[in-house]
């Protein structure tokens, strides 16, 4: 599954943009994404332009992922907490309520907040 997602993304970006070879991939640090198999796949497409937790230790290249680094991952350090607070402020009472509130929060988040 991850192979297909990565390859689809790589081919899409590769065909639309010059300079793709300068792109750096930033891993999210989830345990299933930090395996040698995934690192090998990323390396196929990004060479050493990889920021990932445990990647330098495993492959002796790339940049290690500093957990909770706001300069590298604003979604983890700001956005998810911001959205979670908004979702739970509505006090959803069921899974359906939760889904509805999540969708509403996503749709109402201003572009400026995302920049």
Domain residue extents for the chain: 25-69, 73-113
- Spatial distance between the Cα atoms of 105 and 92, rounded to a whole number of angstroms: 12
Which pTM does this prediction carry? 0.49
10-residue mean pLDDT profile of the chain (115 residues): values are 65 54 74 83 82 75 69 72 91 94 91 79
pLDDT digits (tens, 9 = 90+) for 13-46: 554 555 556 777 777 777 887 888 888 888 888 8
- The percent of the chain in helix, strand and coil, each rounded to the nearest 5, is 60, 5, 30
- Spatial distance between the Cα atoms of 59 and 41, rounded to a whole number of angstroms: 12
């Amino acid at each position: 599954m991850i192979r297909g997602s990565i390859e689809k993304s790589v081919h899409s970006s590769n065909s639309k943009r010059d300079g793709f070879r300068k792109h750096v991939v930033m891993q999210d640090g989830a345990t299933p994404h930090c395996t040698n198999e995934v690192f090998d796949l990323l390396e196929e497409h990004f060479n050493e332009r990889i920021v990932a937790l445990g990647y330098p230790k495993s492959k002796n290249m790339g940049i290690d992922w500093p957990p909770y680094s706001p300069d590298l991952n604003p979604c983890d350090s700001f956005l998810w907490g911001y959205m979670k607070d908004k979702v739970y402020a509505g006090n959803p009472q069921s899974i359906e309520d939760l889904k509805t509130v999540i969708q509403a929060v996503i749709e109402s988040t201003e572009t400026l907040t995302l920049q």
